């Protein structure tokens, strides 16, 4: 496993994302407190956001965003901006959005409040009928427990090499980056539709998550890019070890653990190898099950 030096190489910097602002619960007063570059939690969050954007901008992801865009256009011909949108504008829409979140990233709130203890991430969106400005259009929340675990692993790696802590840091970095990318796809849906009902159209979902009012664009994007939606499973016999496996789940309740070599490759931005368009990493045709390991299905 990589040492603490390779962990720092995976970290993003505030320069990767212009105007990144991160907030944590204020321990002394109600509300939230902004944290700044140099604090461990901020630097971990910067690494998460940087990786999320790089994954979202990968070739496989852009193809997935174009697919999603076409379907939103088809389902929303009543939206003036989408009516009869020509094909050559589809990729322009995706690239415009990706550029906008690079320039003005939504605020990140790290919290376990209001149900976040049981979620990896959540996005609160606002109506966006005029100019789209990501920072004012949405707020992304991240699970405080997971970010704390990642920050604690990073603190150990600053002082000494530890394969276990490096693996833990990288696993959480990967998982939370997928969470942020997932939430950004929800914001992309808002960018496309720009109206009061900003939920994903109900037909666009994956893995059975939907109701009559909303689909699940984040899961749908994960399915298009990875072959299923990403989840975490505690694989330790001692829960205090806090070691999670990152897994892919499909619509038939099959579960695959993503192998560490894949996580390390994606953290190194080797997307040409690990995120090939049309080749999900849980594809059984991959030789000797190179990318994933089948696990017991969830019940």
Domain extent, residue 106, equals 22-294
Counted domains in the chain: 1
pLDDT at 208 > cutoff 60: no
Residues near 288 by beta carbon (within 8 Å), at least 6 away in sequence:
none
- The reply to whether 254 falls in a domain is yes
- The reply to whether 94 falls in a domain is yes
- The reply to whether 111 falls in a domain is yes
- The reply to whether 246 falls in a domain is yes
| Average pLDDT of the segment spanning 98-116 | 94
- The reply to whether 7 falls in a domain is no
Q: In angstroms, rounded to a whole number, what is the distance separating the alpha carbons of residues 295 and 293?
A: 6
* pTM for this entry: 0.86
SS (H, E, C) 220-251: HHHHHHHCCEEEEEECCCCHHHCCEEEEEECC
Q: Which parts of the chain are beta strand (E)?
A: 22-25, 32-35, 107-111, 121-125, 138-143, 229-234, 244-249, 255-258, 292-295
Per residue in 212-265, pLDDT tens? 445 568 888 998 999 888 887 655 555 445 556 788 888 777 888 888 899 999
- The reply to whether 283 falls in a domain is yes
- The reply to whether 1 falls in a domain is no
Residue 160 carries which DSSP code? S
Per residue in 58-96, pLDDT tens? 999 999 999 999 988 888 787 888 888 899 999 999 999
What letters, b where the CB count within 10 A reaches 16 and e where it falls short, cover 11-50?
Answer: bbebebbeebbbbbbeeeeeebeebeeeebbbbbbbbbbb
- The reply to whether 136 falls in a domain is yes
Q: How far is CA 213 from CA 46, 73, 89, 189, 202, in A?
A: 33, 17, 27, 14, 6
């Amino acid at each position: 496993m990589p040492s603490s030096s390779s962990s720092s190489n995976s970290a993003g910097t505030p320069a990767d994302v212009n105007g990144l602002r991160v907030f944590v619960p204020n321990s002394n007063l109600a509300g939230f407190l902004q944290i700044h570059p140099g604090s461990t939690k901020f630097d971990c969050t910067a690494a998460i956001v940087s990786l999320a954007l790089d994954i979202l901008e990968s070739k496989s992801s852009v193809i997935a965003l174009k697919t999603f865009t076409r379907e939103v256009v088809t389902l929303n011909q009543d939206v003036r901006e989408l009516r009869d949108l020509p094909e050559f504008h589809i990729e322009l829409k995706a690239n415009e959005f990706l550029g906008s979140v690079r320039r003005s990233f939504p605020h990140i709130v790290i919290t376990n409040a209001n149900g976040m203890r049981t979620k990896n991430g959540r996005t609160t969106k606002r109506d966006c009928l005029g100019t789209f400005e990501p920072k004012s259009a949405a707020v992304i929340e991240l699970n405080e427990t997971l970010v704390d675990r990642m920050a604690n692993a990073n603190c150990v790696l600053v002082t000494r090499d530890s394969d276990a802590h490096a693996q833990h840091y990288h696993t959480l970095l990967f998982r939370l980056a997928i969470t942020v990318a997932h939430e950004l796809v929800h914001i992309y849906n808002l960018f496309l539709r720009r109206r009061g009902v900003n939920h994903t159209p109900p037909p666009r979902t994956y893995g059975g998550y939907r109701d009559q009012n909303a689909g699940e664009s984040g899961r749908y994007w994960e399915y298009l890019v990875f072959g299923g939606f990403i989840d975490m499973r505690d694989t330790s016999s001692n829960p205090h070890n806090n070691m999670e496996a990152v897994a892919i789940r499909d619509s038939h309740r099959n579960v695959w653990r993503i192998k560490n070599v894949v996580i390390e490759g994606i953290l190194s931005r080797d997307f040409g190898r690990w995120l090939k368009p049309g080749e999900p990493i849980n594809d059984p045709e991959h030789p000797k099950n190179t990318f994933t390991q089948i696990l017991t299905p969830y019940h």
